[in-house]
Chains A and B, each alone.
Chain A
Amino acid sequence: MTALTILLVLVLLLVVFGLLFRLQIFTSIFSGSFTRDIGVSNSVNAILMMVFLVVGGAWFAYSFVENFNKMNPPIASVHGHKMETMFWTTMAVIGVAFAITQILLFWYAYKYQHKDGRRAYFFAHNNKIEVIWTIIPAIVMASLIFAGWKAWTRITGPAPKNSVVVEVMGKQFNWLVRYPGRDMKLGVINYRMIDAVNEWGFDLSDKSAQDDFTTNEIHVPKGVPVLIKIRSRDVLHAVYMPHFRVQMYAVPGMPTRFWFTPTTTTDEMRAKLGNPKFNYELACNQLCGGSHFAMKATVIVDEPDDYQNWYAAQQSFTQKNPDVMAAFKQKAKTMVTPVAAAPEVEAAPMPLAASN
């Protein structure tokens, strides 16, 4: 309500400006052809430049500090902490450049405002200065590029051999999650086999698909590398887990991946934040349709032992859906040609859990 009031007041102010303008026009309308005199308005604008610099700078500094905690949600992955350092280091570098250039800009605007009788300094070029302000930024950029490149190579490099594997598949508008089951192999899936029950399109003629299990939440162990394999079955989505500094698109027809090592369990983070309801979240971050904004999943980081227990307690897809398995066996018996032949070709992008 207050906001609306403010809005109304400002609209009224605009109207007042408009009326003032009319008056001003009426008083000056007969003054004939335009000649521009550099009068009071010039120094008013020059002063406003300084006011903007000081007040604007103070407001920016204040609001930045005020919001600093909000803009730093907790981080819970190994590379996330390093990225955070790099982020704020880069922010500091650009902050210095920002401050210097903005201060000079408004200061010059104020200081070199028009004065009668003074003449601008005819200073057309100076190659030495040009070279200096080409080379210094180039050196700074080179060091940023080098740091960024090293971290990027490490983060996007192959996942460690002992990684835990979980696969997520985006669909309008939720995330499907599956684990490889006891054989530690993700089974073959085929989008043509998708239906209301078999949301993943498990190809049950592949033995390793029979023990895969699906869940609603993503569970991962603390302190162990986690390899997230990513698919989409309809449009583009993106796996975005801001607390872990993880983001990768889910692309139909092209499996992608991202690995990271969680550092803090959900319980630890709840205690740390004093928020018993806290959860790590997975958000969709590539526009995927009307309910894009509501497409999320919960990520739970467990102690490794808890994770093992949880893992062992899960029922596979075929155990949960015995009728699907029965139907498959029935079909396999009656069919002359084995179903397995064709989908085998598509097994290529579905490697062992540990391999990369």
Chain B
Amino acid sequence: MSDLTPKPNFSASVQAAGGVGSAPVPATEHGDHLHHDDHEHDHHDQHWLWKYVFSQDHKVIAKQFLITGMFWAILGGTLSSLFRLQLGWPEGTMEWLKPVLGHWIEAGKLNPEFYLALVTMHGTIMVFFVLTAGLSGTFSNFLIPLQVGARDMASGFMNMLSYWFFFLSSIIMFSSLFIETGPAAAGWTIYPPLSALPQAIPGSGAGMTLWLVSMVFFIVSQLLGGVNYVTTVINLRTRGMSMSKLPLTIWAFFLTAILGILSFPVLFSAALLLVFDRSFGTSFFLSDIYIAGQALSNQGGSPVLFQHLFWFLGHPEVYIVIMPAMGMVSEVLATNARKPIFGYRAMIGSLIGISLLSFVVWAHHMFVTGMNPFLGSVFMFLTLIIAVPSGVKVFNWLATLWRGNIRFTAAMLFAIGFVSLFISGGLTGIILGNATLDIQMHNTYFVVAHFHLVMGSSAFFGLFAGVYHWFPKMFGRMMDEKLGYIHFWLTFVGVYLVFMPMHYVGIAGFPRRYYAWTGFDAFSQFADLNKFISIAAIIAFLGQFIFIFNFFYSIFRGRRATMNPWNSTTLEWTTPIVPGHGNWPGEIPAVYRWPYDYSKPGSEVDFIPQNVPYSQTQSSNLPYEQELAD
């Protein structure tokens, strides 16, 4: 173990030195050396633990993130099915769930506090554990070294720690589901004072403590991962891989990692101050509280301050979730439309624009918190501007499809679905970002529908597109296409059936996080629609098991993949069918061209990989490319 670990780094740094143009040859030697070395260790019985469990190979770590993320996604989906049962059939009995839920079922009814715990855990799990760790963790890990042409991450050891901190965090969060007082129940946004006072809701006792501890480890994991991603992209690109030749996936992961590094520490500080308020009697967020027959001594704190801190992470967080999906979708669309992505530079520019703006829009979650209305005006202005770069991305995706020659792989279907959902969900953001209209829409189901489409379902679709597309490189086998089609159409139709009607309910002012609406005249007219949404949601959720089945079946029994099954141009498809530790058995290929030379006029094949020099493609070179070839 000890002699194995430093080698990827060593060879990677040599290769990086080679990247400057000095000595590509030593890189080859070390690469080979490493490979043989590795091979010997493979046969050594003692090392399976280090190969499959505490592995420092970015590809293994990526799979670990993916499978942990899938576990969480099933759990998060199950929780949502439970609370959709409650919302769809508020008068129905839940007695049959008693064997599973135990004392949370009281006289055949779901306990309202447990309902809130379900909602809270669903949000926490989906946003952080699935769509941050499961999506970005999987594909940043898997694709960054493969697509920039590196042997591994800058620090394999930190990368391994990143996963295991996430694992620890997962264990803690999971265990909080089983404690007597239940898991955290103050909403995934954990606004104090509710989250600070166990007297206010039982979930704010031990459940909230575990939530905070788990999130601290989660943030550590994110930072370890993020620093690695950024370092790798900056330092370990192969020869010729300038920033303007990076695939859009890498640009997206790179900017996502920067967002994470800059915003997660702020959540850390918010969590820390909340721990102080909860356990050490400070008053950062608490003031003038009389609860459970007792006036608390806390004075001078501000609950709104917590919201500022939370959303300073919370808003970039939604872009942390969606940007990797955007990057992968760009890649999948271009590959399967057999066309260059339209407006490559505009795509990078809009990603950078979104990244910058994402830091200055957080208070649009707080228009009606009593924050100074002038601040509301400023944040309305900044928020609505985000529509412009987002629009540019959508138009560019459409232009990429225009006059393409489209192959509907499962990944392509999900990529097209992503664009559709991103449009549908993104446009309603224009309503919610308008402070005036947000007075009515804030915290209603309109918001729920909006973000489930634009960052929930879209990001899931990006994740699916990524899995279907890169599965051959991960496992050397293909996923079944027909099952992929069924999975796509069921999910796509299901998502729209769930979230479109939710807008109607929201426009009428139906508040979110309501255990039942039956007490209000204004909201009680939607019983049928709620039933409809619940049925659609549960079916769409069950449909995901097609994917789960397909995934695990194909790992072992799928058809064998070829080296480059999609005829793609990027570097990962130049590796062996199942790349070993170090990725390329020989020299790392050098890069000569941008990643989107699909259907280039004059070229015989309809794709030219990035590692093909211009000198070999005289017939298809554009004039300026010809100069480079000469």
Residues of A whose CB lies within 8 Å of any CB of B are 3, 6-7, 10-11, 14, 17-18, 21, 24-25, 28-29, 31-36, 38, 41-42, 45-46, 48-49, 52, 56, 60, 63-64, 67, 70-73, 83, 86-87, 90-91, 93-94, 97-98, 101-102, 104-106, 108-109, 112-115, 118-126, 129-130, 133-134, 137-138, 141, 144-145, 148-149, 151-153, 155-157, 171-172, 191-192, 194, 196, 201, 230, 233-236, 238, 240, 242-243, 245-249, 251-254, 256, 277-279, 281, 283-294, 296
Contact = CB atoms under 8 A, between A and B. Distances in A.
Contacts of B477: 34
Contact of B370 (A46, A87, A249): A249
B439 A123 contact: no
A201 B291 CA distance: 13
A141 B429 CA distance: 12
B288 A120 contact: no
Contact of A18 (B391, B436, B549): B549
Contact of B514 (A155, A289, A292): A292
B315 interface: no
Given A11-B542, A251-B304, A233 B288 contact: yes
Nearest to B300: A253
A25 B193 contact: no
Contacts of A70: 504, 508, 525-526
Given A34-B561, A251-B304, A254-B304, A124 B427 contact: no
Interface residues of B, number: 137
A46 B489 CA distance: 12
A126 B403 CA distance: 15
Given A25-B557, A36-B565, A287-B186, A113 B406 contact: yes
Contacts of B496: 56, 60
Contacts, number: 379
A24 B482 contact: yes
Interface stretch (B157-165, B222-230, B343-351, B611-619): B343-351
A273 B210 CA distance: 50
A290 B116 contact: yes
A287 B187 CA distance: 7
A288 B521 CA distance: 21
B543 interface: yes
Contact of B405 (A115, A251, A290): A115
A73 B440 CA distance: 12
Contacts of B370: 230, 248-249, 251, 254, 256
Interface in B263-320: 286-291, 293, 295, 299-304
Contacts of A247: 368, 439-440, 442-443
A114 B409 CA distance: 11
Contacts of A279: 521
Given A98-B424, A133-B395, A145-B380, 4 more contacts: A45-B413, A73-B508, A91-B431, A121-B403
Contact of B194 (A11, A98, A113, A287): A287
A243 B440 CA distance: 9
B103 interface: no
Q: Which of the listed residues B295, B337, B408, B478 has the most CB atoms from chain A within 10 Å of its own CB? A: B408
B391 A153 contact: no
Interface string B539-578: 1001101100100000001011110010000000000000
